[in-house]
Structure 1
Amino acid sequence: MDGRVVVVGGGPGGVLLTYLLARGGVAVTLLEARHDFARRFRGDTLAPGVLEYLDDLGLAGDLLAEVPHRRSDMFRWHTPEKTYELVDYRGASRRFPFYALIPQARFLPWLAARAEAYGAQVRLGARFSSFLSAADGRVTGVEYTVEATTHRLDAALVVGADGRSSKVRAAAGIEATELGASLDLLWFAVERHDDDPAYSGLDLFARPGGTIALLDQGAGEWQVGWSIPAGSYASVREAGVGPLVDAVAAVLPWLAPRLRAALSAVTDLTLLPVRIMTVDSWTRPGLVLIGDAAHVVSPVGGNGINLALADAAELANQLVGPLRAGSSAAAVDEAAGRLESVRRPGVEAEQRRQVRTEQAAAQRNAAGVVGPPTVLRVLTAIPGFSRLAARRSGVTVPAPVPVIAVG
């Protein structure tokens, strides 16, 4: 059996897994369909627990020193009457009491380069086509194309890390089930000026019928997001950009002129349909799914990237021993299968919370209620609640096993 792992998909989970396996002495190849890692309006918020994990690997200091980013220690919800401090990250970690907002277009190539330094092969423009299989049906590798040329690559294990619309998942016949989502998001970016008002970097602004998100990733621009009812994009497109810009003008009047100058049509916006999905199984013999390929979570809250990174950390811990030892295919499958048993319960609990949050938000929007739910308004008035919320909402990442920790 070839001891190589093939990771399909160069998102956060796939790139971190590639790095960890290579650091642990495992042969690994990453296949990414795009020709670069340029991804916009994706999850870019690294949680305090993730930063602690990267610090344990000796990465966090260099990452924060070398890659432009924004540090946000507060998640705020602004209404015309009051600003609610929903989550205060200053007590979430002694080392990293903040979320780091880092564009994936900068984080991913930075990490991929370090994976290559450990011997990982990173192949861009490599599109997954199909599986190679043994007589018993076990996946034993992949076929992929680069500039219309087909390549074959044997593997001890294939990892599907290719996102919510995973081709790997579809090829494996793994069924995905939508758990329900009531909102979609529209995104646009405009230039940030040095004299712009100061915000936390993670801010929501209430408006009738929805919210406007304002994110700052330290990239010299504001990301502006509008929540709209799920499936309503066609009617929004028909109405044009005017109502969207007017909504911003009502809560962020200083930003509206820039939007009017830069935004000419709804088609200039990036639509991110909010989906919350589960799958029947994360594994097949010779195959395992991680991140959005295994469990799509809502972008609201920004934890999709952190859950994917936690998947990668857990899977690397499970795999590195058997793969380094040249264990049997059955032993590798058993190790990969432990990922689901360890990670699925927590992920599904998060998904259930998100479904409830999405449904409640849709009901408030339909009723024209602005701002957070009444219960949050009450709780945020309790001293210490926002810091407690940060600790309870944190993503736990398992410590690296010694062979990975030592590198």
Structure 2
Amino acid sequence: MRYTDIAIIGGGLAGSTAAAMLGRAGIPTVLIDPHDVYPFDFRVEKLGGGVQIARFARTGLAEVVLPGATHARENWIARFGRLLDRAPVDQYGIMYDELVNAIRAEIASPAEFICGKVTNVAISAERQQVTLGGGETISARLVVLANGLNVSLRRMIGIEREITSPCHSISLGFDLVPVGRPAFPFPALTYFSERPSDRVPYLTLFPVGERRMRANLFVYRQADDPWLREMRVNPVRTLDAALPRLSRITGEFAVAGDIKVRPADLSVSTNYRRPGIVLVGDAFSVTCPVTGTGTDKVFTDVAQLCNVHIPAWLASEGMGEDKIAAYYDDPVKTACDAWSMAKAFDFRRVSMDTGLYWRAQRGARFLSWLGRGALRRLGGRRRRTTIQGALPQTP
């Protein structure tokens, strides 16, 4: 039997980040995942926004991971075929598997990685026992469950998953390439829906690598909607029909490679207050990818758990339910969870609801983007005029 302080089950973004953080803190940790190298998975493909990057920074890993991503400093915002703003951003494009593997590369002793599949978990108020498929057993003071949507281990110890909004949204990922020119005119682009009936909140385009423009399209449809098949078979025509004035901004384009489709159910775990085990990331609750807050939840869960709670728990004997409750009741975590879930429903309503209030909200957003863009252009012209006026005049 192998002994450790922390056993983490699941080596995706949440589990790998936790293992790297705990190793840096000098806490003996074992990360267990079936994949020695994390494979392609259509999930997070960019990190952006000051708040999200700040949350990533709290893990201590941003400074070593982000230099390997593609940095975009400006994002064009458009709707109705009209450029509204060229907003400054701090956005990083990176494929999910590359992000996870970059974080895994930071796992160092006393943390270690085991390639294997967990077949059984037994928990108690003292030590936990994790059994692998090959028969090896790991004894840990705490189990961190970070295995995403996999429910089998949770059910083994009485934790269930409640779906609160089935197929709340669907994400599509593909590469967009310009036709007849070497590059698109924008560094990154967010193009918002033109009509609620199209059930498309927005399309986001962002660079990954030197020559690749990645597209993430979000829709509110059912998983068996024929529209999805049309998108796979005739992506350009289907995209033109859904966003008919998009090409005024992008110019003529083509779709390269496969189109990845990922439906998302909103869900929360139930009966999770158990001794000896905590749930992080999607293992605890799943929010909507449209809002881009899933990564915020992961970084918040892991940062609070590894920076605040685990060091305090290990300072005394036992791992009872009273200790574990401090993590689930953490005000930083609960605020992030509530914000993320509320945003999931609000974004859907503002994208599709035809009621007077939500129509007004869409109009207000459009005017807000238009106003900010106009002020930014005016400020730019004033700065250029000031600079030109300060230059010495030639006779």
Give the TM-score taking structure 1 as reference length.
0.75
Match of 1:231 in 2: 222
Match of 2:329 in 1: 341
SS, match of residue 310 in structure 1? helix
SS, match of residue 359 in structure 1? helix
Q: For each residue in 1:75-101, what CA deviation from the matched residue of structure 2 results, as whole angstroms up to 9, or x when unmatched?
A: 724322x23449x5x5xxxxxx61322
* Kept after mapping to 2: 8 A contact 1:186/1:271: yes
* Kept after mapping to 2: 8 A contact 1:44/1:103: yes
Match of 1:391 in 2: none
Q: 1:21-170 to 2 correspondence within 5 Å?
A: 21-46=22-47, 47-52=49-54, 59-65=61-67, 67-74=68-75, 76-80=77-81, 82-85=82-85, 88=87, 90=88, 98-116=90-108, 118-124=109-115, 126-134=116-124, 140-145=128-133, 149-170=134-155
Q: 1:199-218 to 2 correspondence within 5 Å?
A: 199-206=186-193, 208=195, 209-211=198-200, 213-218=203-208
1:72 positional shift: 4.6
Cα distance in structure 1, aligned partners of 2:13 and 2:344: 21
Structure 2 letter corresponding to 1:222: M
Match of 1:247 in 2: 238
Cα distance in structure 2, aligned partners of 1:54 and 1:357: 23
CA RMSD of aligned residues (A): 3.7
- Kindly, what percent of the aligned residue pairs are identical? 16
* Kept after mapping to 1: 8 A contact 2:20/2:104: yes
* Kept after mapping to 2: 8 A contact 1:73/1:200: yes
Q: Which structure shows the higher strand fraction?
A: 2
Match of 1:221 in 2: 212
Structure 2 spans left out of the alignment, 5+ residues: 377-395
SS, match of residue 298 in structure 2? helix
Match of 1:296 in 2: 286
Number of equivalenced pairs: 360
Q: CA separation of 1:39/1:143 partners in 2, compared to 1, >3 Å: closer, same or farther? A: same
Structure 2 letter corresponding to 1:99: Q
Cα distance in structure 2, aligned partners of 1:56 and 1:225: 27
* Kept after mapping to 2: 8 A contact 1:85/1:386: no
Give the TM-score taking structure 2 as reference length.
0.77
Q: CA separation of 1:174/1:248 partners in 2, compared to 1, >3 Å: closer, same or farther? A: same
Structure 1 spans left out of the alignment, 5+ residues: 91-96, 388-407
* Kept after mapping to 2: 8 A contact 1:379/1:385: no
Structure 2 letter corresponding to 1:159: V
SS, match of residue 159 in structure 2? coil
Cα distance in structure 1, aligned partners of 2:5 and 2:164: 35
Match of 1:377 in 2: 366
Q: Which runs of 4+ in 1 moved over 6 A?
A: 253-256, 369-372, 384-387
* Kept after mapping to 2: 8 A contact 1:288/1:337: no
Q: CA separation of 1:227/1:317 partners in 2, compared to 1, >3 Å: closer, same or farther? A: closer
Cα distance in structure 2, aligned partners of 1:52 and 1:306: 10
Cα distance in structure 2, aligned partners of 1:79 and 1:101: 26
Cα distance in structure 1, aligned partners of 2:360 and 2:235: 18
